[in-house]
Structure 1
Amino acid sequence: MARTPHERRSVALLLLVLTGCVWGVGSAPPGPVVPGPPPEPPSPSAVAAIEQGRPAGYPIGGIDISSHDHRKFTVHWPTEVAAGSQFVYVKATEGLSYVNPHFDADYLAARAAGRYVGAYVYARPDKGDPVGQAEHFLRHARFTRDARTLVPFVDLEWPYEGIKAGPCYNLSPERMRAWIAAFIGRIEREIGRKPMIYTNTYWWNPCTGNDTSYGDYPLDIANYTKGPPKLPAGWTTFALWQYAPGNPDEAHSHDRDVVNGGPAGLRALAWP
């Protein structure tokens, strides 16, 4: 998920006129959403490619999206639905000021398509102020206890191109551990449950000094190999596996994920 800064083009919403059924922490419910024109039907070739690319033994797939996905194409929800993509994570914020300008549109479109939906935040340890970054995310993310909203995840990984920092954001393992604890702790206190951590073994282990403190937090592991992913220090299992990175130059190409544990595993990530 290491990408250029994410700025979205609005995606046409689907089929339903949504009222303010979900809202950001500390904000008023949104007004009605006017649907756009009917979408084109699913692409049979894209559906087949998505289904064939899903790792064996993990029948429930989904996507995570950001403005990067809309550089040339928008998410084609009928194709995603036809291919069995049952959940969507949408980037909400990054650092202390960035807000994905198309977060609301993508979030509501995914809900209109009947998907489980959650928000994520791209962490910026180089920007400091972990509590401020967490609060910025909480102001703009959407949460509702409806058993369809997924627990948010915190994206902790290598800096994308354009961030002027070393692989570990110029922090020592000790300082990185303190930053992560403050950041995740603020989100956990607000939402009342452990957020999910998105990372990969080859960033987490060296940058945190093999921190084992988060083994009971749900893990979204990024690993683009055919076999089961190698887990970071502290974890013995994962909740999601991002098995394929997206390519914004190709239609229907998004970061792709599978759920560990089938339908029960997906329900466990939603609000009770």
Structure 2
Amino acid sequence: MSPHRGLRARRRPLAVLTGVLTGLLLCLPTATAAPDSGGRTPPRGSAYMGVGVLAHDGAAPGARSPQAARASTAEGVDVSSHQGDVDWKKLWGDGVKWSYTKATEGTYYKNPYFTQQYDGPYGVGMVRGSYHFATPDTTGGATQADYFVDHGGGWSGDGRTLPGVLDIEWNPYGSSCYGKSKSAMVTWIRDFLDRYKKRTGRAAVIYTATTWWSDCTGNYSGFGANPLWIARYASTAGTLPAGWSAYTMWQYTSTGPTVGDRDRFRGSADDVRAFAKA
């Protein structure tokens, strides 16, 4: 018998074992795949307010005509780099009184259109603010709050600048809850909110959806002191997360005119200005 035949015989069990292990690994689910409609995972930085609402909650009939009367609520919009340069004069003429612009995401992204989208509404008379898209799987809550404040997320009591928003919702890049347990998610959110208030003197607004909040925080009820911006594309805001008896803002559709995402403030334009200054 050739000496090489004996060597091949000894190698065969190892090769079989390697093949089995490789097959098992290929069958394991991945936590990073969150493909878009084309089967691709979107690039970091591309998230926006409401990115997961349609996919997870859908849109109920009547989302474009909520029951809250326009006379008693102030119309708003939220924008990100996806909208590019926004026609703020047209929106102002359409009755939009306030706006929020995406400033940052994680600690790796700044909106390249931020200046036009943040200064533009101020220039036409709107009350404006900025929001941060949270990625709790990348860095800590306090670290992301610092990044947000340092890159457009600050606040001033001029009556025209709204407090910053923590956009905490479905992860477009991976597992919905960013791989965190419910208690770890609550801790991350608390760290962000505490640092933001320490840096600015204002309580940050929390933007979220009831289903995500329930799934990923266990419907935690301890953040009721922070204003709530609820996301639900329907004729009513529906059941709110635990800890809140009323919302401050409501994102009611992603298919509005001029700018898709449309919002209502629970109160008049005067109330929006008072909220900005408080």
Bucket of the pairwise TM-score, normalised by the shorter protein:
0.7 to 0.9
Q: 1:87 aligns with which of 95, 98, 107?
A: 98
- Mapped to 2, the partners of 1:220 and 1:170 lie a distance apart of 24
- On the 8 A contact 1:93/1:120 being kept in 2, the answer is yes
Report the Cα offset of residue 188 of structure 1: 1.0
SS state at 1:81 partner: helix
- Assess, with a 3 A threshold, how the Cα gap between structure 1 residues 85 and 173 changes in structure 2: closer, same or farther: same
- Mapped to 2, the partners of 1:236 and 1:260 lie a distance apart of 13
Q: Highest Rg: 1 or 2? A: 2
Code of the aligned partner of 2:119? L
1:159 matched to which residue of 2?
171
- Mapped to 1, the partners of 2:147 and 2:255 lie a distance apart of 26
SS state at 2:192 partner: helix
Code of the aligned partner of 2:209? N
Is the counterpart of residue 203 in structure 1 residue 217 in structure 2? no
Q: Greater helix percent: which structure?
A: 2
- Mapped to 2, the partners of 1:135 and 1:82 lie a distance apart of 35
SS state at 1:105 partner: helix
- On the 8 A contact 1:69/1:246 being kept in 2, the answer is no
Code of the aligned partner of 1:143? W
Calculate the TM-score normalised by the size of structure 1: 0.75
- Assess, with a 3 A threshold, how the Cα gap between structure 1 residues 65 and 255 changes in structure 2: closer, same or farther: same
Calculate the TM-score normalised by the size of structure 2: 0.73
The answer for unaligned runs of 5 or more in structure 2 is: 1-35, 37-41, 48-63
- Mapped to 2, the partners of 1:122 and 1:65 lie a distance apart of 12
Aligned residues: 218
- Report matched runs for 1:8-87 at 5 Å: 53=65, 55-59=67-71, 60-70=74-84, 74-87=85-98
Code of the aligned partner of 1:252? T
- On the 8 A contact 2:237/2:252 being kept in 1, the answer is no
1:98 matched to which residue of 2?
109
Q: CA-to-partner distance for each residue in 1:224-249, whole Å, 9 max, x for gaps?
A: 011233201111000000001158xx
Code of the aligned partner of 1:57? A
Percent identity between the aligned chains?
A: 36
- Assess, with a 3 A threshold, how the Cα gap between structure 1 residues 113 and 238 changes in structure 2: closer, same or farther: same
SS state at 2:137 partner: helix
- On the 8 A contact 2:77/2:259 being kept in 1, the answer is no
SS state at 1:63 partner: strand
- Report matched runs for 1:1-272 at 5 Å: 5-6=45-46, 53=65, 55-59=67-71, 60-70=74-84, 74-141=85-152, 142-160=154-172, 163=173, 165-246=174-255, 252-272=258-278
Code of the aligned partner of 2:83? D
- On the 8 A contact 1:197/1:218 being kept in 2, the answer is yes
- On the 8 A contact 1:58/1:259 being kept in 2, the answer is no
- Assess, with a 3 A threshold, how the Cα gap between structure 1 residues 231 and 58 changes in structure 2: closer, same or farther: farther
- Mapped to 2, the partners of 1:110 and 1:268 lie a distance apart of 17
Tell me how large the CA RMSD over aligned residues is.
2.1
SS state at 1:125 partner: coil
- Mapped to 2, the partners of 1:94 and 1:265 lie a distance apart of 29
- Assess, with a 3 A threshold, how the Cα gap between structure 1 residues 219 and 150 changes in structure 2: closer, same or farther: same
Report the Cα offset of residue 144 of structure 1: 2.5
Q: CA-to-partner distance for each residue in 1:193-252, whole Å, 9 max, x for gaps?
A: 2110000100001200111001121100000011233201111000000001158xxx71
- Assess, with a 3 A threshold, how the Cα gap between structure 1 residues 110 and 6 changes in structure 2: closer, same or farther: farther
Report the Cα offset of residue 124 of structure 1: 0.6
Report the Cα offset of residue 102 of structure 1: 1.3
SS state at 1:143 partner: coil
SS state at 2:195 partner: helix
- Mapped to 2, the partners of 1:228 and 1:198 lie a distance apart of 13
